Structure 1
Amino acid sequence: MQTEAKKENSISPSSLKFGAYIDTYYLQNLNRPVVKEREFTTQAVRNQEFNVNMAHVEAKLEEEKYRGRLALHWGTSVVANTASEVNSDRYSNQLSTRNIQEAFAGVKVGKETWLDMGVFFGNIGYESWISQNNINYTRAFALDYVPYYSSGIRLSHRFNQKWSGQLQILNGWQNITETNKDKAFGSQILFKIFPNVTLTLNQFVGNEAPNTERKQIRLYNNTILEWHISEHWLIALQADIGAQRAGERFAYEPWWRAYDPSLSETREERSLAFRQWYHGTLWLSYKISSDYRLSFRVERFYDPKQVLAVSNSPNGFIAYGYTTTFDILSFEPALLRFEYVYRRSMDSIFPYRDAKTSAKEDFFIFAFSLRL
């Protein structure tokens, strides 16, 4: 009896899989800045340098009633994405947080329902942290300013062949170590309109202020429409809107000084105003043959109040960009990529030669990745 019980609970070899991924790049910045690191991005951040964007090793399994994935990673995008993680608490897991890509365990709680807990990829946005999954190598502005990873618990359910959804309780907006006493909430609705057309709606709500400040509720909605027109053509659209309550406002009340000269002319009080930002992106990909693919991206990011993208410029972060990517697919499971990116801002915010700044940034990237 004991032998039979052990046999029933053992993991089948086919469900346990090991893997690895290596993503390397060289970036030639035509601005020729003095500084080595690019601004307003976490992908391919080093100028005029061969480097590793990401390398990871993984172990994952999916049995009938339980599943999980453990993946550890390294690279310049990893350091950039985890830079805001808390590192002052003694027991915050801070020494290993940076290297956790995913670490979650899940159980099946219904016929089509899973409950996962731990650290997992963020669900907002069309582009993945794994560059080989994307039709462009770099990420759109909006994808660099939404969570690459989340920490918490998620309930996912497939209603039928067309509808599925998720509910999440999270520590916050891309953080493993908690930054305040509140929890955030996320959700996803996925609808297969047709077999080749998918609509995805992602939402987030949570307080993004530390405990030392007034609550600043962040609301975010992400809409994605993906259409596989044919075997060769793919088009995708993404539209994002976000709003976050301002931390404070100052009421001008100079008359109180007539009673008490030590008082200020302004009085701080809770703000009811929300600062908003918007983003729109269009992707178009053409698979020329089984060996070659050409892809384009057009984007615009509008964050005048600098809620997400802090440029310290008069007009805030208002920018647009164009990306062209040529892929050589014949090395599968490896991928060889050539990409040109042009970005322009309303203000002069991009590092330029001789320690100056420019309103434009453009660069070429050569990238090679391998999935094992």
Structure 2
Amino acid sequence: MKTFFSALAMASVSYTSIAQTTDTTTASAPTQAATQAVPNSGLTVSGYVEAYYSHDFSLAKTTQERPSFLYNHRRNREVNVNLAFIKAAYVNDRVRGNLALQVGTYPQYNYAAEQALIKNLFEANAGVKLSKNRDLWLDAGIFASHIGFESAISKDCWTLTRSILAENSPYYLSGAKMTYNTANGKWTLLGSVVNGWQRIKRLDGYSGPSLSTQVQYRPSPELTLNWSSFLGSDRPDSLRQTRFFNNFYAIINPQGRFGVILGFDIGSDQKPVVRTGSDARVEGGGSYVWYSPVVIARYKTSDKSYVNGRVEYYDDKAGTLIGTPGFQTMGYSLGYDYAMLPNALFRLEGKMYDSKTPLTTFENRRVNTSLTTSIAISF
């Protein structure tokens, strides 16, 4: 592992051109970044580092972790690294592949259930173009999730921190997917067979697999409409809890001076079948439902700076994803971004949660306020 990191780091220093990294197995991400290939090889080496400091005013000075439903920027009152990775990507007319290795507090918390040797894999996949004349690809491995408009790469998101709906839906998926982009660039259609709800290692007791889809329509550069879905389970087969999840969003005027993102998640888990004896069982009736609307707006104040704001609501009364029964929380944030250099971004964000239930197990408080700042560089 150390040898591989060293080799990639040496290769990246050899090329002075700046390359921003995204999942190259999809052309449908809200923010697409250009990369420059190594001459005559189709190989690109790139990297990303985001350092941050979060000050949670609602927690005791000695409390080191922010609320458990957060996976990004979670450490409290300490300078740390949220995400750092180095990536090698290869692509030609008919094949492509990606390998990215990661460290930071984001993988520490979000990959906690994965096997030890897998936790440092941000991306590892291979793809083949199935048609000479059409943009139709088959990819397999570990890749960034197509669900949602926010990723773990903060610089590619409109706000410094993530929405609650992003933190509690898949950031990554593992399996195989087929992606088709129309010739006019307006439609992206994706279907995938995956190991589960944000799982590389399939859940013990679950026979799977799960299915996920994406339909994205871009009628103009000023508008993107997206629907993504998941059908499967994140519970053992014995509980018979099928999960059906939908993610909808619209991105309006993303390159203009003023832009808006409208998002909405809604999901359900069937209530479990509970066995009470060798022959007797109690059937689960109905479903547990959670949902979350969010609005994000940003305004370009200069060629190098933006201000942004977010209003969100997350309702998970059964605690299906959050783990806290009765969870109903409003969230508000206001942020400022400044591009110090073409590949260096400074960000500052204040955020408040107002909940009907306590937001942490450490402090019995229903209001949480925090200030987060970060510096992110890409190369």
TM-score normalised by the chain length of structure 2: 0.84
1:282 pairs with one of 283, 286, 295: 295
Amino acid at match of 2:82: N
Structure of larger gyration radius: 1
What SS does the aligned partner of 2:50 have? strand
Which range moves more in the overlay, 143-152 or 213-222?
213-222
Aligned to 1:37: 65
Amino acid at match of 1:152: G
Q: Distance in 2 between matches of 1:97 and 1:300?
A: 33
What SS does the aligned partner of 1:271 have? coil
**Structure 1 residues 203 and 229 mapped into 2: Cα distance closer, same or farther (>3 Å)?**
closer
Which range moves more in the overlay, 239-248 or 267-276?
267-276
Alpha-carbon deviations, 1:327-347, whole Å to 9, x = none? 111322010011101111111
Q: Distance in 1 between matches of 2:291 and 2:80?
A: 32
Aligned to 1:298: 311
Q: Work out the number of aligned pairs and report it.
A: 335
Aligned to 1:139: 162
Q: Distance in 2 between matches of 1:84 and 1:303?
A: 22
What SS does the aligned partner of 1:120 have? strand
Q: Distance in 2 between matches of 1:147 and 1:299?
A: 18
Aligned to 2:12: none
Question: Aligned runs of 1:285-364 on 2, under 5 Å?
Answer: 285-311=298-324, 313=325, 316-350=326-360, 356-364=363-371
1:99 aligns with 2:120: yes
TM-aligned CA deviation for residue 118 of structure 1: 0.2
Instruction: Tell me if the contact between 1:299 and 1:322 (Cα under 8 Å) persists in the aligned partners.
Output: yes
Structure 2, unaligned runs of 5 or more:
1-37
1:170 aligns with 2:194: yes
Aligned to 1:257: none
Instruction: Tell me if the contact between 1:24 and 1:367 (Cα under 8 Å) persists in the aligned partners.
Output: yes
Alpha-carbon deviations, 1:79-130, whole Å to 9, x = none? 1101123xxxxxxxx2211101100000000121000000000111111110
1:185 pairs with one of 208, 211, 223: 211
TM-aligned CA deviation for residue 324 of structure 1: 0.9
Identity %: 28
Instruction: Tell me if the contact between 1:350 and 1:360 (Cα under 8 Å) persists in the aligned partners.
Output: no
**Structure 1 residues 230 and 195 mapped into 2: Cα distance closer, same or farther (>3 Å)?**
closer
Amino acid at match of 1:71: A
Amino acid at match of 2:219: I
Aligned Cα root-mean-square deviation (Å): 2.0
Aligned to 1:220: 245
Q: Distance in 2 between matches of 1:306 and 1:175?
A: 20
Instruction: Tell me if the contact between 1:350 and 1:361 (Cα under 8 Å) persists in the aligned partners.
Output: no
What SS does the aligned partner of 2:117 have? helix
Deviating beyond 6 angstroms after TM superposition, the runs of 4 or more aligned structure 1 residues are none
Question: Aligned runs of 1:194-273 on 2, under 5 Å?
Answer: 194-211=220-237, 213-228=238-253, 231-248=256-273, 268-273=281-286
Question: Aligned runs of 1:68-79 on 2, under 5 Å?
Answer: 68-79=97-108
2:171 pairs with one of 148, 151, 159: 148
Question: Aligned runs of 1:106-117 on 2, under 5 Å?
Answer: 106-110=127-131, 111-117=134-140
Aligned to 2:81: 52
**Structure 1 residues 135 and 66 mapped into 2: Cα distance closer, same or farther (>3 Å)?**
same
Q: Distance in 1 between matches of 2:76 and 2:130?
A: 48
1:128 pairs with one of 151, 160, 163: 151
Amino acid at match of 1:100: L
Q: Distance in 2 between matches of 1:143 and 1:174?
A: 12
Amino acid at match of 2:198: Q
Aligned to 1:17: 44
Amino acid at match of 2:65: E
Structure 1, unaligned runs of 5 or more:
1-10, 86-93, 252-262
Instruction: Tell me if the contact between 2:359 and 2:368 (Cα under 8 Å) persists in the aligned partners.
Output: no
Q: Distance in 1 between matches of 2:286 and 2:109?
A: 31
Amino acid at match of 1:43: N
Q: Distance in 2 between matches of 1:208 and 1:230?
A: 37
What SS does the aligned partner of 2:151 have? coil
Instruction: Tell me if the contact between 2:223 and 2:253 (Cα under 8 Å) persists in the aligned partners.
Output: yes
What SS does the aligned partner of 1:71 have? strand
Amino acid at match of 1:64: D
Q: Distance in 2 between matches of 1:96 and 1:135?
A: 32
What SS does the aligned partner of 1:329 have? strand
Amino acid at match of 1:294: V
1:367 aligns with 2:374: yes
**Structure 1 residues 164 and 243 mapped into 2: Cα distance closer, same or farther (>3 Å)?**
same
Instruction: Tell me if the contact between 2:59 and 2:363 (Cα under 8 Å) persists in the aligned partners.
Output: no
